[in-house]
Amino acid sequence: MAALVAADAEPVVLAVRGDVVVVRVGDVVLKAHEAGTDLGALSARLRLAGDPRLGGLLLAPRAAPAVVAGRVVTAWPLGQPVPPRDPDAVPLEEAGAMLAALHRFTAADFAGPLPPSGARPRLERAVRELPRGSAAARRVLRAFATLPPLDTAATTLIHGDWHLGQLVRRDGGWRLIDVDDLGTGDPAWDLARPAALHAAGVLDPELWGRLLDAYLAAGGTGVSPHDPWAELDVPARALVVQMAARALAAAERDGTALTDEQEALIDACGRIISATGIGQRG
Amino acid sequence: MQCPKCHANMRTYDRMGVHIEQCDGCRGVFLDYGELEAITRLETQMAVPPPPPPAAPAPGYAQPGWGAQPHYGGHYGHRKHRGLGGLFFSS
């Protein structure tokens, strides 16, 4: 790893999320992955990110993963993120087309087995780490109980944790970063976060519509054009639960109150429980 | 001019700004370049406009059964850039 970065470059911390640390050194970004990261699965995911057929969609790593001081570390070229809080600058059309293009790939396109997407384990981790005891936490758990078990037969290649922070500009185009949950899964999960935010009433319907229209116009196969909620319902419920659980955990950790957006997710959990008629007790 | 079919004399008429030549013999009509388009345009203008389609939202803009209705809980319409909160940007 040291050979990849300039000796005189000052490291700049870009993000710290739990025990995940992302550091920029010159034009290289180094990511220390969560403790307990499966090196074999992550290596398979990095091989996908380096596959030339996916070069226009995924940012290619600078090197194979390395273990540094007991932690799995990956190295990436520096890209420019989407400017936050500017609806006019959000590349929703490109993002929708990129997801549609990604979802054209299946396990059969690659040699060797693909790891299953980490989307569902991510949800289950968030629920495990939810601080119990509050009325809000009980609502989140009941909404979680409405979800059917994971369909493990899926073969489509999905990103697994898609949101606008996963797009960077590099080499004149947008690329997807963060391949930790890349693998086979239900393609509707890649649209689940914005779908959940739309259903919770916190994402501008027009922005959601632009993304979905772009995805469908580019031939995206994850949702039906005439009834996208047939496929989106379960993943969107899952992301409401995941984001609500994360919000409660962060509020407890930092001793802060929920924001309006986060409150709207807890309210959405309540409506999920009423609408599905599952998880009313417990 | 002479009718290209029966060679009888053709007479020029002006109908609503469109010049047409009609044959006195076989009543056939000759159109100059662009006149057919002009007639089509006139036809469209004279046709009764169809009723506007019902303003059904695109399927994706719809909400699932558990979705927030518009104006739900004050989350709609009060923040100018409500659509780009932090939740759409981070894991």
Q: What is the interface pTM, i.e. ipTM, of the complex?
A: 0.82
> What's the confidence (pLDDT) of residue B50?
63
A220 touches chain B (CB under 8 A): no
CA proximity to A161, closest of A201, A121, A129: A121
The pLDDT, as a whole number, for residue B37 is 80
Q: Lowest mean pLDDT of A174-178, B15-19, B31-35, name the range.
A: B15-19
Give A 116-155 residues with CB within 8 A of chain B: 122
d(CA A43, CA B72): 45
pLDDT of residue A160: 98
Q: What is the mean pLDDT of residues A19-43?
A: 94
Is A233 in contact with B64 (Cβ distance < 8 A)? Answer: yes
Q: What is the mean pLDDT of residues A209-222?
A: 97
Q: What is the pLDDT of residue A242?
A: 98
Is it the case that residue B81 has pLDDT exceeding 50?
no
> A277: Cβ–Cβ under 8 A, 6 or more apart, which residues?
none
Topology of domain A81-276, CATH: Aminoglycoside 3'-phosphotransferase; Chain: A, domain 2 (3.90.1200)
Please tell me the distance from the alpha carbon of residue B25 to that of residue B5, in angstroms, as a whole number. 10
Closest CA in chain B for residue A206: B61
* pLDDT for res B70: 58
Mean pLDDT of A75-92: 90
Instruction: Specify the CATH number of the domain A2-77.
Output: 3.30.200
Nearest Cβ partner for B60 among A209, A265, A272: A209
Q: How confident is the model at residue B6 (pLDDT cuts 50, 70, 90)?
A: confident
Tokens of A279: 């998880």
Show me where the domains of chain A are located: 2-77, 81-276
pLDDT of B58 reads 61
Residue A185: pLDDT over 90: yes
CA distance A196 to A200: 6
pLDDT greater than 70 at residue B85: no
Question: Are A2-77 and A81-276 in the same CATH fold?
Answer: no
Region A101-122: what's the mean pLDDT?
95
Other Cβ atoms within 10 Å of B31 Cβ, number = 14
- Is the confidence at residue B77, as pLDDT, over 60? no
Please tell me if residue B77 touches chain A, with a CB cutoff of 8 Å: no
Distance from CA of B49 to the nearest CA of A (A): 28
Residue type, A82: V
pLDDT of residue A278: 62
